[in-house]
Amino acid sequence: MEAVAKLKNCPMSARKMRLLVDNIRGKSVNEALNICRFTNKEASEWIEKLLISAISNWEYKSEGHSAEDYDLYVKTALVDEAGMLKRIQPAPHGRAHRVRKRSNHVTLIVENRVEFESTAVEEGQEIENEEN
């Protein structure tokens, strides 16, 4: 089972956000949280909150199962560019330079490596019912 968390219009360039997201892709959730906590970048605060949100989304979707028992990992982590705010910076000799304030969208997908026990029991019961 997988759960998705999205962050939209984060006021930071996608290039800066990808530096951290590339480090946590494919890692276990605990390891990814530790990377976020001990990285000295602004992106780490945003990604840590998003990762906690993805974990809680997974727990809600799995109907009360604890995330610690099922070895969650970051399956997919995407960073896409969002819209730009275009501003003007005064320059010498009456000119103007364009300032692009970039933003991004981040998508995290968290999945469990350990299967649910209840699904294996239900499949076993279905096989027994078909034999009878």
Residue 50 CB partners (closer than 8 Å, separation 6+): 5, 6, 7, 106, 108
Average pLDDT value for the chain: 89
Report the C-alpha gap between 70 and 30 in whole angstroms.
Answer: 12
Question: Which stretch of 26-30, 47-51, 80-84, 112-116 has the lowest confidence by average pLDDT?
Answer: 112-116
Closest CA to 57 of 29, 19, 18, 23: 29
Task: Render pLDDT for 43-58 as a digit per residue (tens, 0 to 9).
Answer: 999 999 999 999 999 9
Q: What does DSSP assign to residue 89?
A: E
- Per-residue pLDDT, 125: 57
100's tokens: 């692009």
**What gap in Å lies between CA 64 and CA 48, rounded to an integer?**
22
Q: What is the pLDDT of residues 55-83, one digit of tens each?
A: 999 999 988 788 888 889 999 999 999 99
- In order of start, what are the domains of the chain with their CATH numbers? 2-131 (3.90.470.10)
H or E element, residue 76? strand 72-81
- Residue type for position 99: V
